[in-house]
Amino acid sequence: MTTTLITNLTEVFTADAAHTVIKDAAILLEDEKIAWIGSAAQAPAADTVIDAGYRAALPGWVDSHSHLVFAGDRSAEFVARMAGQDYAAGGIAVTTAATRATSDYDLTRLLMGRAAEALAGGTTYLETKTGYGLDVEEEARHARIASTVVDKVTFLGAHLVPAGMDAQEYTDLVCGEMLERVRPYVQFADVFCERGAFNEAQSRQVLAAAHQAGLGLRVHGNQLGPGPGTQLAVEFGAASVDHVNYLDDADVTALAGSWESWDPATRTGAAGTVATCLPACDLSTRQPLAPGRELIDAGVQIALASNCNPGTSYTSSMAFCVATAVLQMRLTIEEAITAATYGGALALGVQDLVGSLEVGKRADIQLLNAPAVAHLAYRPGMNLSGPVFRAGALVVG
C-alpha cells in the first residue's frame, strides 16, 4: 500500500451530507482511496507529500448526462436558433447521418477527445448515451464504442423515430432486437418522452422492456413542454428524469414522494428518482431554467449535468453548469457543487463509490486554481481547473 498526502489546501469542500468545509486542510490517500481528511496541522505522515500550493479541493464532477458519441457539426442550427428559430428535435437526424458515416476509429477518437476535455475540466466520472445510431447495427456500434471510453453507458435508441419509419414499428424494434444487441454494453436505458419524439404509450413500452432486460432506467422528460415524462419516471422507479423544465405541482409532488424513504442527513434508505437539471442546455435552447431551487425545497434530490451534445448543449463544462445554477437557479454554491458531484453519483447509482470526499471512497479529487470553491460562481467563465486525481492517480497536471 502506498500513501500520499495532498496538503496546503486552503479549503476542502467534501460534498458530504453536512456540506462540510475544512479550512487549511490535507487529504491522505491510500492507493486509490481516501484514508483521512482533516486539518493540515494534524496530517499523518505519508510516503509521498504533494504540495497543493494553496488551492481549494472538491470532488471530481460526476457528469450523469451526456451524448458524446457523434460526428458532424450543427453550429448553423445553433446560429439559426439564436436568431429566433425554436429548437425542435429534428436536428438529431442531421447528427445521425453524420455519425453513421463515421468509422469506428474516427468515432472512438472523437469520443476520446471529448472525454479528455471533460476530464481536464474536472469530470472524473462520466456517463454517455447512444441515440445517434437509430438502427440496430449503429446503436450496437455506438454502445460498444462508448463502453470502451466512459464509465456508464445509457441506451437511447428511443431518441427519435427515423425518417420514413412508422413510430410503433420503430418502438417495437427498440424494445426487441435493438435492446438485445446493445445489452452487453449498457447499464441504463432512456427514452425521449416528448411531443415529436415518443408518446406516453411508447415510452411505457420502452421502459418496461428495458426494466425486463435488467437495465436501470432514465427518462428525458418535460424538456420542451408539460407532459407525462416525469410521472412515468417515478412510476417506473427510474434512477433519473432529466431536463425537467416544464413541471407542474403534481410532477414535483411525485418526485418528492419518491424520496420519502431516503434520509438526506445520513444518506441512507431507498433512493428515489433524481431530477437532473441541465442549465447549459436550458440557456442554449432558451428554455426556462429547470426549477432546481423549488425541487430542492420540495425535498427532491437533484443532479446537475452537462448534457454535452451537438444540438442543445455543446459544452462539457460542469463548472459552467455550477456557476449558472448558482447565479440563475438560486442554488447556493454548496448545493450546486453537491448536485454536480453527489447528485450525479446518485443518478448513476454509484454514490457509495464517488461523488463526495469521504474516508473509504475513491480518491476522485479536483484542485481549483483558486483559494475557495465559491470562485466557481464568483468568477464565472474563468478556467479555474487545476490538477485532477482519479482513483488516487494524478490524471491532469
The 3-class SS string of 25-82 reads: EEEEEECCEEEEEEEHHHCCCCCEEEEEEEEEEEECEEECCECCCCCCCCHHHHHHHH
Q: Which of 12, 28, 43, 91 binds ligand NIG (CB under 6 A)?
A: 91
Burial class (CB in 10 A: 0-12, 13-18, 19+), 129: buried
In the complex, what is the shortest distance from the CB of residue 71 to ligand NIG, in angstroms, rounded to a whole number?
Answer: 12
How crowded is the C-beta side of 244, counted as CA atoms within 13 Å?
35
In the complex, what is the shortest distance from the CB of residue 107 to ligand NIG, in angstroms, rounded to a whole number?
Answer: 15
Task: Specify the residue, 216 or 311, whose C-beta has the smaller distance to ligand NIG.
Answer: 311
In the complex, what is the shortest distance from the CB of residue 243 to ligand NIG, in angstroms, rounded to a whole number?
Answer: 7
Angle at 182 between CA 181 and CA 183, to 5 degrees: 95
- How far apart are alpha carbons 94 and 73 in whole angstroms? 9
Task: Specify the residue, 66 or 341, whose C-beta has the smaller distance to ligand NIG.
Answer: 66
Number of residues that bind ligand NIG (CB under 6 A): 14
**Does residue 157 belong to the site contacting ligand NIG (CB under 6 A)?**
no
User: Per CB under 6 A, which of residues 37..56 are in contact with ligand NIG?
Assistant: none
* Cα 12–chain centre separation: 22
Q: Which of 312, 316, 338, 366 binds ligand NIG (CB under 6 A)?
A: 312
Task: Specify the residue, 14 or 99, whose C-beta has the smaller distance to ligand NIG.
Answer: 99
**Does residue 319 belong to the site contacting ligand NIG (CB under 6 A)?**
no
**Does residue 223 belong to the site contacting ligand NIG (CB under 6 A)?**
yes
**Does residue 287 belong to the site contacting ligand NIG (CB under 6 A)?**
no
Question: Quick one: which of 319, 267, 311 has its CA closest to 63?
Answer: 319
**Does residue 385 belong to the site contacting ligand NIG (CB under 6 A)?**
no
Interface ranges with ligand NIG (CB under 6 A): 67, 89, 91-92, 95, 192, 220, 223, 281, 307, 309-312
